[in-house]
């Protein structure tokens, strides 16, 4: 029988195996129990044994109302297998970590990486490149369906393409941020034409935040908040310090790394979903309210529609080039945070943004 145990004929590929062994539980009301060397998952109104070997699980992530038994928690802590709780919407709540996790080393590496101006600039380039490339793709794809301004949209996409070429030449962070800001402005000028003309929510003047003063900006801000929370949750989950960012500067209470991680997700996830909801008239003027002072926000029914669409969008699988397979949108930030962690540890020469 020992003939089974010989050296593996295939070389050990240093692949992204971490994600493969994560157990995500998002069914509300599910309970997890320890049974021998496996996890028994009990889901209400779901009969049948649901058993997963603990050996194959490196990490458990529970969204919302999920119960984890004490024996299982103790076992996970003993095996240095982390358990993370997120709100049903993906906000980071808390995390149980084993005693031997290398998080402090990763965080230390992150701080050292940040202290190295050159390394910081290189990593920041990755975030900007991902953001601009994805923004450009959203414009180009949107131009095909746009009722008007197709030439303008393509012109803005061309502006962004030029900005992408300028990224490697940016000599410092301020120049890089300038390129990003300018390209972002061009993007929103094009974004305006992606909205149907006959919408009752008013025009999109330009990107206005803190506070948004029109429905379209209010919707964008709402989705950016959700995107930020999944990006921050992903950073926490992987063990990175969400407040030490590379593109975004350090400021008290500013999760700079979460903001870095969400850049490449903004256009394809948040903006695209906002466009869809508005253009299909699932959200109309009645779903927004103006507060005293001029800030506009979603009404409660409007929020329900937006959140339902968000949750649905989070389950949609999207292709990931580095992994060569499709990944649910909700997991993209975690995948990217892991790629970033590998880059920070020196295992990957560059940060590879997720690109649509």
Partner 1 sequence: MELLLTYDVSTIDPPGRNRLRRVAKLCEGYGMRVQKSVFEIVCSDADLLVLLDKVQRIIDHDQDSIRIYRVPKGSLRDVKTLGTAAPLPHDDALIL
Residue 319 contacts partner 1 per CB under 8 A: no
Q: Which of 328, 345, 348, 355 binds partner 1 (CB under 8 A)?
A: 328
Q: Which of 28, 29, 51, 185 binds partner 1 (CB under 8 A)?
A: 51
Residue 45 contacts partner 1 per CB under 8 A: no
- Residue 118 · residue 262 · CB < 8 Å: no
What phi-psi label fits residue 102: left (phi over 0), alpha (psi between -120 and 50 degrees) or beta? alpha
Residue 314 contacts partner 1 per CB under 8 A: no
Cα 211 from chain centroid (whole Å): 23
CA pseudo-torsion sign 17, 225, 272, 152: negative
d(CA 261, CA 240): 11
Map residues 17-36 to x or -, x wherever contact with partner 1 holds by CB under 8 A: --xx-xxxxxx--x----xx
Of 316, 338, 327, nearest to 59 by C-alpha is: 338
Q: Which is nearer to partner 1, 1 or 104 (CB)?
A: 1
Q: Which of 331, 337, 341, 352 binds partner 1 (CB under 8 A)?
A: 331
DSSP code for 325: E
Q: Is 180 one of the annotated binding-site residues?
A: yes
Could you tell me the smallest distance in angstroms from the CB atom of residue 189 to partner 1? 38
Residue 5 contacts partner 1 per CB under 8 A: yes
Q: Which residues of 273-308 are buried (b: 16+ CB within 10 A; e: fewer)?
A: bbbebbbeeebeeebbeeeeeeebbbeeebeebbee
**Which range binds partner 1 by CB under 8 A, 50-58, 159-167, 191-199, 226-234?**
50-58
**Number of residues in contact with partner 1 under rule CB under 8 A:** 34
| Residues of this chain that bind partner 1 (CB under 8 A) | 1-2, 4-6, 8, 10, 19-20, 22-27, 30, 35-38, 41, 43, 49-57, 327-328, 331
């Amino acid at each position: 029988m020992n003939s089974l145990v010989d050296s593996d004929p295939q070389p050990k590929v240093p692949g992204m195996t971490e994600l493969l062994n994560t157990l995500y539980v998002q069914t509300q009301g599910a309970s997890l129990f320890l049974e021998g060397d496996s996890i028994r998952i009990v889901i209400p109104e779901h009969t049948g044994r649901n058993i997963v070997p603990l050996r194959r699980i490196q990490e458990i992530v529970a969204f919302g109302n999920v119960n984890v038994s004490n024996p299982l928690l103790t076992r996970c802590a003993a095996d240095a297998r982390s358990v993370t709780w997120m709100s049903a919407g993906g906000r980071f709540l808390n995390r149980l970590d084993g005693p031997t996790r290398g998080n402090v080393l990763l965080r230390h590496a992150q701080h050292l990486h940040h202290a190295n101006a050159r390394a910081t600039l290189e990593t920041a380039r990755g975030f900007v490149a991902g953001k601009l490339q994805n923004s450009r793709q959203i414009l180009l794809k949107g131009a095909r369906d746009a009722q008007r301004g197709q030439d303008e949209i393509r012109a803005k996409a061309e502006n962004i393409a030029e900005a992408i070429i300028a990224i490697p030449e940016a000599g410092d962070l301020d120049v890089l941020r300038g390129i990003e800001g300018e390209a972002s402005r061009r993007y929103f000028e094009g974004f305006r034409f992606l909205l149907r003309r006959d919408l009752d929510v008013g025009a999109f003047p330009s990107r206005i935040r803190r506070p948004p003063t029109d429905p379209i900006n209010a919707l964008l801000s709402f989705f950016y908040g959700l995107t930020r929370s999944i990006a921050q949750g992903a950073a926490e989950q992987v063990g990175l310090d969400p407040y030490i960012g590379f593109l975004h500067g350090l400021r008290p209470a500013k999760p700079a790394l979460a903001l870095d991680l969400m850049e490449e997700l903004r256009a394809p996830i948040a903006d695209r979903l906002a466009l869809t909801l508005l253009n299909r008239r699932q959200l109309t003027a009645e779903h927004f309210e103006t507060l005293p002072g001029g800030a506009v926000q979603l009404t409660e029914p409007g929020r329900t529609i937006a959140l339902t669409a968000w949750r649905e969008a989070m389950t949609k699988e999207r292709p990931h080039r580095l992994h060569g397979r499709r990944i649910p949108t909700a997991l993209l930030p975690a995948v990217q945070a892991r790629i970033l962690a590998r880059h920070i540890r020196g295992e990957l020469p560059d940060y590879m943004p997720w690109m649509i």
